[in-house]
Amino acid sequence: MRFWLYFSGMAIFILVLLWLLQIVFINSFYQTIKIRQTEEIGRTVSASFGTPNFEGTVLRESFRQNASVQVYNEEGILVFPLNPLDYIFQPMVDKGDFERYFRPLTQENTKEFTYVSPYEGTENSAILYVTYLGEEAGHKFYLSVSSILDPVDSTVEILKNQLVIISIISLILAFVLSYFLSRRLAKPLSNMAKTARQLGRGDYDVTFDTRGYTEVHDLAQTLNYATGELTKTIELRKDLIANVSHDLKTPLTLIKSYGEMIRDISGDLPELRERHIQTILEEADYLTGFVNDLLDLSRVESGISALELEEVDLEALTRETLSRFAHLEEEGYEFVIHLKGSPMAICDASKIRQVIYNFISNGVNYSHNQKRLDIHITEEEDGVALSVQDYGIGISQEHLEGIWERYYRASANYKRSDVGTGLGLSICKNILELHGFPYGVNSVEGEGSTFYFVATKANPQ
Ligand code: ADP
């Protein structure tokens, strides 16, 4: 509505302006222009006074602008241009006129005058420009340029008629066009508002209509993109809650059922009771680990845990971490550290310890019978690379990208008790990205995987 009003208002404004200029002010415009032209002729002619082509200039200018250009001497006798007869009769201007128009030039010491006065006997006005040319051969010479101001009434009448037609047509056009334009512009916007309200009510299946002008189209596309991202986040959150509650419920159920078994069956059977208690303890440990992982993840993801950067010996850190896997060595696991160059890096020790821990524990979890892990710490040109290589099941190409997402599991027949919480690599990714360290994985299915990151070097040379 407002767009329509503005548009029509502008059309009316332009028309009024046109009327004013064309009809109301046309007389004064015309007069101003004509006066300027007359004065210009006068100046051109007087500038050529005293030059050999003076007479030529007088004739040319009077023809060009249809003005009468005349030169008088100080007695008011016409000097140029003359008809043959004029040589005998020596035409003079009226004494009174000469006094009236030329005298002020000498008296007031002014260079030029322009008069506009009614032309005798007609409705027209005349413009008279007079100027003093100069002295030659003992005579003073004056120039007069006169032209007639034709009445513009008839022209105005024609213009008026035309303008009436133009006004009517353009007003109708403005009203109709702006009505349709505003509809085309406003309609998609109000549709979008409707869709957005739907989205706000929690209906994530909406699509914004992208028809309309470029900007409207862009807006709709952006909104569609935002809706897509929102939907993804919401799906992810749903998945996360489902996974978390599943992973919390399973050990709790186990703990409860083993507790019941001890109460009802194995309470008096020390051996069986011992096994059941062991299971309960393992599940409780798992729960603790899981909750800790969740907390870690939410901490690094929200970015509240700031990095405490310091100089860290990655080899020492790895040995320290490996000590937590010492019990596995009894089962035949072998962990070999290969150091090349300096292991000194700049990082947050406790966070990077967590990354190394996760890499190693994954290596163990997915090793199966190949109970060997090679840990390479190599000083490179742009950092210290740490990699954990296992010879286990490996990861297929299609899963390589996804494993860094939380709760992503490469194998469909995943058994919780075998492996971790499904959050480990996601925590690693967050920590490494927080540090700005390059990281990744190389893996061949069936042959093993190498997880690595490159830390900033301490005192780079
Ligand atoms: P999880 O607790 O399931 O190990 P992670 O985030 O640590 O969760 O790892 C995500 C997935 O990546 C794992 O479920 C597994 O499928 C795959 N993965 C991680 N490390 C390895 C590895 N060393 N070898 C083979 N697959 C691995």
Can you tell me the distance from the alpha carbon of 422 to that of 416, in angstroms, rounded to the nearest whole number?
9
Ligand 1 center to residue 422 CA distance, Å?
7
Q: Which residue's CA is minimally distant from atom 1 of ligand 1?
A: 422
Enumerate residues lining ligand 1, CB below 6 A. Answer: 358, 362-363, 365-366, 390, 392-395, 403, 408-411, 419-426, 449
Identify any residues that bridge with 379 across adjacent strands, giving them in sequence order. Answer: 384
Q: How far apart are CA 331 and CA 419, in angstroms?
A: 17
**pTM of the full predicted structure?**
0.52
pLDDT of 416 over the 50 cut: no
Q: Whose CA is nearest to atom 16 of ligand 1?
A: 410
Pocket test for ligand 1, best of 250, 356, 365 (most atoms within 8 A of CB): 365
Determine the distance separating the centroid of ligand 1 and the alpha carbon of 169, expressed in angstroms: 75
Comparing 87-91, 334-338, 445-449, the range with the smallest average pLDDT is 87-91
User: How many other CB atoms sit within 10 Å of the CB of residue 196?
Assistant: 15
User: Residues 333-374: pLDDT tens digits?
Assistant: 999 999 999 999 999 998 899 899 999 989 988 888 888 999
CA torsion, ordered 278, 281, 283, 287, to nearest 10 deg: -170
Q: How far is the CA of 393 from the centre of ligand 1 (A)?
A: 10
Q: Which atom of ligand 1 is nearest to the CA of 427?
A: 6
* Cα of 310 from ligand 1 centre, angstroms: 29
For residue 337, the CA-to-ligand 1 centroid distance in Å is: 21
CA 407 to ligand 1 center in whole angstroms: 9
Nearest CA to ligand 1 atom 25: 394
Residues 6+ away with beta carbon under 8 Å from 266: 272, 273, 275, 276
Residue 415 has pLDDT above 50, yes or no: no
Q: Is the dihedral angle over the CA atoms 99, 105, 109, 110 positive or is it negative?
A: positive
**pLDDT the model gives residue 411:** 53
Under the banding of pLDDT at 50, 70 and 90, the label for residue 409 is low
